[in-house]
Amino acid sequence: MPPKEKPRVDCTLKATSPDIGGRKATGSDKLTLVEQRQFIYVRIVRANGLPLNNISGTCNPFVELKIGNYKGITRCFEQTSNPEWNEVYAFTRDQILGGRLEILVRDKESAITEIIGHLSFDLDHIPTRFPPDSPMAPQWYKLEDRNGVKIVGELMLAVWIGNQSDDAFPVAWHSDAAAVSGKSVTKTRSNVYLSPVLWYLRIQVIAAQDLAPADRNRKPEAYVKAVLGNLVLRTKVSKDMNLNPTWNEEVMFVAAEPFDDPLVLSVEDKMGADKDVCLGRSVIPLHQVEKRLLPQPIGDQWITLQKHVAEVEEKTEVKFASRLHLRIFLDGVYHVFDEPTYYCSDLRATSPKLWPEKIGVLELGILKAEGLLPTMSKDGRGTTDAYCVAKYGQKWVRTRTIVDSFAPKWNEQYCWDVYDPYTVVTIGVFHNYHLQEGDKNGGKRDPRLGKVRIRLSTLETGRIYTHSYPLIVLQPNGLKKMGELHLAVKFSCSNWIDLLHTYSQPLLPMMHYLKPLSVYQLDSLRHQATYTLSLRLGRADPPLSREVVEYMLDTGVNRWSLRRGKANCERVMACLSGIVFIWRQFDQIRHWKNSAVTILIFSLFVAMVMSPKLILPAFFLAFFVIGVWRFPKRPRHPPHMDIKLSHAETAQIDELDEEFDTFPTSKQGEALKTRYDRLRGIAGRLMMMIGDLATQLERIHALVSWRDPRATAMFLIFCLIACILVHKVQFKYLVLVTWTYAMRPPRLRVGIPSIPQSFLRRLPAKTDSML
């Protein structure tokens, strides 16, 4: 029996019609791109005068909130009658079945059977509060026993009904995370992060003066070592093997504000393969380094290296240290890349003085996800604790974690200022693996559930796009659809003139073109920036883990991938298909496949040649007509991940295993040999193509090189005759003769190469000199 075909994965973009605030009149101006959901907010502030336990003589109070099927518990205070919690709880209104809110104050010693006191609220009597109303003021409530009798002790709290725009929403414990308790609750909350301001730290090492080597009988092999945090860079060993070496080299770091680590510069003497001796060092705090905010030169300086102290036979010997000549500054006139160039969400320079004008606002509504696949097992069944992360510019946002749901509903809205339309907003979905009790997850990383990219230049201004995006993940065992993410996106333009003006401006700051950095430098600095961002964002609360930051920044985009190589070749061929199509049509016309069309094209060309002023107007008019003709068929939806374009479905398992392999490789034996042989085959074909191109170009150079004296003499005689002919005959008649010859009928053609082709193929190339 033939093997069964794998079922095709539906990875199409689907338009949706959510009930969002931007399409109807709402009571809150903040929620225009999400579905408004009502929450019952309970703020537990503090208690006063709680009675002591009759047995232990102490009071270890905590508060338990019950509403419908949900229960929330505050943290417990030890041995106090006046605890202060200041915690907020949010219960989703449409998920509550019960009709009352129960607030129980319990003692840890007798929490199972007894309560200190309780309060009860009817849900119908809870007031509503929506911004821009002021926050609800907490009040004191006398505690009651189970029979409704007032007892000793009171509790300060506030209860109200609000929505996602409430100030308490980001810091509240949500009923969607009811199974999470303890310190892990903070890791379920939504949050906004800001990337630190990144600078290029440039150290241009010029020379050193009066070095004092450890061994005065040998010439020092000096180099400069620069250390910033965990990163170490070195210059080359100076060719001047004396006491005054010169380098004229530059090393660059990525430094982030606030500047925590100082820069340590040292001059080292390379004594052997594994032995370096420090001849002097200097520690430079970065806040003392000059910042370049405008494209103007920075002066050089001499710094004194600290004296190196060594203890020899219980005696302290102070060795002489010298000076170092350098130019050091924090360069703010470049854009610090933390993303690939074609996925950048911000193209501004570090210096605020070089920022362009704001052109608009990007609004993003993260609505919900559907059909998520289980990522972990809990109590014998699969589950997913999903959250979203979105990045645009320096602002990162993280939604709250919806626990144990394959169809989480976030309905959270965020906005960013836009300075350039040629930027991309990235939204990723992850599973939260850090919700176990005690914050121990066995070192597991948050699995990725998919990613969506939306380029702002593909959006119409002022229009709300609501679509369901497929969440696609490429794994070593093949393509996998993890679910669908529902988003609402709106790009609003505040100044049309500035928006249109950006299309005439350079994409990057000016210094990227006047004094460009090399490709190697940009790649190395981008990895430094990614490493710095992952460290800083990993120290936030809740932290953004390193794997999340790296996935959002596409750190592995430059790794070798046979699948991506095939896709890029097909993209090039698709772009050239128009030229191929025109050539095929022209070939049919000149071979008189349709006599009427051939005569028409010939007549139009003759008219153009006789009236040259019609050529350029006809050229631009043709593009105008094509653009107007395609306007009704213009794309109406944002672009999304295309699995066919990416060759994701047709990729072989071995190709994917190679793509996800580590660098350096972790494979051995036959698998490594097979990949190497395959890569040799691909490189061999590429080598032959480059060789054929080089041969053709060398034959053109051979026309006047006299390598073939007869061919060069013939070519020079032809050039002399052509010069006289072109001078005597008008150019338009020469074009007409050439065109008439190209359009001659098939009966006048011979199926052999033309004279110029035959002549060119006989010219010599340097292929004969290749080994």
pLDDT, tens digit (0-9, with 9 covering 90-100), for 555-588? 888 788 888 888 888 888 888 888 888 888 888 8
- Structural contact between residues 458 and 427, judged by C-beta atoms closer than 8 angstroms: no
Distance CA 408, CA 369 (A): 6
177 in helix, strand or coil? helix
pLDDT digits (tens, 9 = 90+) for 228-279: 999 999 999 988 888 889 999 999 999 999 998 999 999 998 887 778 888 8
Residue 609, number of CB atoms within 10 A of its CB: 17
Whether 626 has a pLDDT exceeding 60, the answer reads yes
Tell me the three-class secondary structure of 97-132, residue by residue. Answer: CCCEEEEEEEEHHHCCCCCCEEEEEEHHHCCECCCC
Q: Which of 399, 407, 341, 412 is closest to 373 using CA atoms?
A: 407
Give the sheet arrangement for strand 14-15, strand by strand.
Answer: 14-15, 464-475, 478-493, 360-370, 409-418
Q: Which of 44, 66, 75 is closest to 168 using CA atoms?
A: 44
What does the pLDDT read at residue 1?
46
What does the pLDDT read at residue 389?
96
pLDDT digits (tens, 9 = 90+) for 275-312: 888 888 899 999 999 999 999 999 999 999 886 554 43
The residue ranges of DSSP E strands in 289-375, in sequence order, are: 291-292, 301-304, 309-312, 315-318, 323-331, 360-370
pLDDT above 90 as % of the chain: 36
Whether 28 has a pLDDT exceeding 50, the answer reads no
pTM comes to: 0.84
What does the pLDDT read at residue 483?
93
DSSP letter, residue 68 = T
What does the pLDDT read at residue 311?
41
Which architecture does CATH list for 352-553? Sandwich (2.60)
Tokens of 608: 């153009």
DSSP letter, residue 461 = B
Mean pLDDT computed over every residue of the chain: 85
Distances in whole angstroms, Cα of residue 478 to Cα of each of 406, 481, 655 = 22, 10, 10
* Residue predicted with more confidence, 488 or 22: 488
Tokens of 159: 């209860």
- For the 198-331 domain, the top CATH level (class) is mainly beta
* Residue predicted with more confidence, 600 or 54: 600
pLDDT band at 336 (very low <50, low <70, confident <90, very high): very high
| Neighbour-count burial of 83, counting CB atoms closer than 10 A to its CB (0-12 exposed, 13-18 middle, 19+ buried) | buried
Query: What is the sign of the dihedral through the CA atoms of 606, 612, 615 and 617?
Result: negative
- Structural contact between residues 139 and 125, judged by C-beta atoms closer than 8 angstroms: no
Tokens of 724: 């006289």
Residue 38, number of CB atoms within 10 A of its CB: 16
Tokens of 231: 């990163």
37-189 CATH choice from 1.10.760.10, 3.40.50.2300, 2.60.40.150, 2.40.30.10: 2.60.40.150
Give helix 562-590 / helix 595-610 axis angle, nearest 10°. 90
Distance CA 35, CA 164 (A): 9
What does the pLDDT read at residue 436?
67
Integer-rounded Cα radius of gyration of the chain:
36
Whether 72 has a pLDDT exceeding 90, the answer reads no
pLDDT digits (tens, 9 = 90+) for 358-386: 999 999 999 999 999 998 888 788 889 99
Domain with CATH 2.60.40.150 in the chain: 37-189, 198-331, 352-553
Largest alpha-carbon pair distance within the chain? 122
Distance CA 641, CA 4 (A): 26
Lowest mean pLDDT, pick from 423-437, 655-669, 752-766: 655-669
Q: For 652-672, what is the mean pLDDT?
A: 77
Q: Work out the angle at residue 564's Cα, subtended by the Cα atoms of residues 562 and 569, and round it to the nearest 5 degrees.
A: 95
- Structural contact between residues 7 and 108, judged by C-beta atoms closer than 8 angstroms: no
